[in-house]
Chain A
Amino acid sequence: MALPLPLGLTHSEVAFLAEMELVTVVPRQRLESIDLLSGKTPPLRPPHRTDLPLWLALLLKKQRRANIVPPPWMHPASLADIVHRETKVHPQAFSEPMPTASRARQSEPGYAGRIGGSGDNNSGEVILSPPFQSNCTSAAPAGYLPYHWLEVAEALVTHASDDLGGNTSEIRGLLRDLVEVRAAKMRDSAETLGAEGQGGVVSLRGVGAMELAENRGFVLGVVDGVRKIGGAVETARREREEEMDLGGGEGGRGGYGGDGDSDDDMGI
């Protein structure tokens, strides 16, 4: 019997994980480094900017001990640009995910190496991949949505609205637009999944964690249904093919090669 727990992470779990994201704060008070299980937090020295995990930043913000610097991609211009890209430029695909941190190589102009990668060994920085890469600090690039975009943006809009430069309602509206546009794309992906010749594959590049949590059940349900429907057709096709092979193989697979590729992927 199936477990009643849903597959994957729930919304609150995703939101919890998103609190690991680093955000930039401007402290108002001094605070010595705190020795936590996950490592020491940097000491806070006003007015120097520091990167803190979101949960700590929100805590300090609520106690009025710090101000949060919103990440550049949350600026209304950046969000409007993304909305424009999602609706007009690429109406089918999700917008590009955040690029990995890179730095121009001095020795080879025109090439970029990863920060801490082989290009600059002396930097001493650690290579970070998306969950730990700081996508929500003030150093992050504008015009891209990080993996935890919705969670971080909602938290900041709700709890740090006075740090957003008076654009809260505009940002909120743009976020709503983004959510709706991307949800519509997720819905349309269902039709792509079942289209002949598509192979039952749809690209989820650039989809955020919260959107995945929301649509996981539905998309998996569609894939499963298509697989079951395709399964019967596929078994029949295999049987016919075997018969043909046994019967001298004169015809090959010419007659039903047309939808063969898509069915191969479906009939697991």
Chain B
Amino acid sequence: MSYYDIDAILTDAEKIPCTFQLDIPDLGYLDNTPNQPLKAGTKVSLPLWLAEMLVIANTGGPDNKTFVTFDLPRALGNDVVQALKADPRAVPLRDQSAHFYGLATHMMDLSEEQELGSVLRKTFVTRAAEISLHARKVGGVSAKGKGKEEGSNLGIGGAGEEFLRGLDEWERKLFRKAHDGAKSGKEWMESIKKN
């Protein structure tokens, strides 16, 4: 991941629910109680970059506690995972998080979720096949032309609209790549006839 990668930066800003394990003075404003210390056991949503540091580091005390413990964010919660298992294509991932896969890979680095990896992999490839289908169909090579879909250049329109709106950033990039390939294929086909 590049230092300048906007998507990596935005992924780092995703909030994940954390529980503080210590009383921390002067941080009460995080929990809307500005004049008191932050109590141990308070749940606060922290951005991923901060939570990551606090989870990894330990307090150095005798019991080797970490500063915070974290839960999986709602985007990776049980409901979503069960829905993905049932039918990966039916879940609008973007509604969960715009950087769903980036968030998920980060969380898998931090937690010991066995199942999540295989569910995600299956989700990704199943949706990738669907993405490729849509990328090719809209404004693609089909010479027959299907009404309004034919002129569309953005890949939006027709039946796939809802699915395409639910793509997260990784999938959008994938869609763009697949669409660029199909589009330049079509352009080449047309260029043959010109010269």
Bin chain B's interface residue count.
Answer: 35 or more
Q: How far is the CA of A259 from the CA of B117 in the complex (A)?
A: 11
Chain B, residue nearest A262 (CB)? B121
Chain B, residue nearest A196 (CB)? B118
Q: How far is the CA of A195 from the CA of B4 in the complex (A)?
A: 32
The one of B120, B126, B180, B192 in contact with A217, judged by C-beta atoms closer than 8 angstroms, is B180
A119 interface hit (Cβ, 8 Å): no
Q: Are B177 and A225 in contact (CB under 8 A)?
A: no
Given A183-B136, A218-B177, A229-B120: A11 touches B101 (CB 8 Å cut-off): no
Q: Are B125 and A195 in contact (CB under 8 A)?
A: yes
Residues of B within 8 A of A98 (CB): none
Q: How far is the CA of A183 from the CA of B191 in the complex (A)?
A: 21
Q: Kindly specify which of A46-54, A85-93, A121-129, A185-193 makes contact with the partner chain.
A: A185-193
Q: Are B185 and A11 in contact (CB under 8 A)?
A: yes
Q: How far is the CA of A193 from the CA of B112 in the complex (A)?
A: 24
Q: Could you tell me which residues of chain B, from 109 to 150, have a CB within 8 Å of some CB in chain A?
A: 109, 112, 117-118, 120-122, 124-126, 128-129, 132-133, 135-136, 141, 143
A39 interface hit (Cβ, 8 Å): no
Interface of A is mostly: helix
Q: Are B117 and A158 in contact (CB under 8 A)?
A: no
Residues of A within 8 A of B128 (CB): 190-191, 194, 218, 221-222, 225
Given A188-B129, A195-B125: A228 touches B178 (CB 8 Å cut-off): no
Q: How far is the CA of A236 from the CA of B112 in the complex (A)?
A: 7
Q: Are B104 and A229 in contact (CB under 8 A)?
A: yes
Q: How far is the CA of A176 from the CA of B108 in the complex (A)?
A: 44
Q: How far is the CA of A58 from the CA of B173 in the complex (A)?
A: 39
Chain A, residue nearest B189 (CB)? A154
Q: Are A213 and B181 in contact (CB under 8 A)?
A: yes
Q: Could you tell me which residues of chain A, from 73 to 123, have a CB within 8 Å of some CB in chain B?
A: none
Residues of B within 8 A of A216 (CB): 181
0 or 1 for each of A199-240: is its CB under 8 Å from B? (1 = yes):
000000000001001111110111001101111110110000
Q: Are B133 and A194 in contact (CB under 8 A)?
A: no
Q: How far is the CA of A154 from the CA of B121 in the complex (A)?
A: 38
Q: Are A194 and B109 in contact (CB under 8 A)?
A: no
A247 interface hit (Cβ, 8 Å): no
Residues of A within 8 A of B122 (CB): 194
The one of B4, B135, B141, B191 in contact with A1, judged by C-beta atoms closer than 8 angstroms, is B4
Q: What's the nearest-Cβ distance from chain A to residue B130, in Å? A: 9
Most chain A CB neighbours (cut-off 10 Å) among B4, B173, B192? B192
Residues of B within 8 A of A222 (CB): 124-125, 128, 174
Q: How far is the CA of A12 from the CA of B187 in the complex (A)?
A: 9
Most chain B CB neighbours (cut-off 10 Å) among A154, A155, A210, A225? A225
Binding site for B on A (CB under 8 A): 1-2, 6, 10-12, 15, 154-155, 158, 176, 179, 183, 186-188, 190-191, 193-196, 210, 213-218, 220-222, 225-226, 228-233, 235-236, 259
8 pairs, CB–CB < 8 Å, chain A vs chain B: A2-B2, A10-B184, A11-B185, A186-B132, A225-B101, A225-B174, A229-B105, A230-B121
| 6 closest cross-chain pairs (CB), A and B | A194-B125, A217-B177, A232-B108, A233-B117, A11-B188, A218-B178
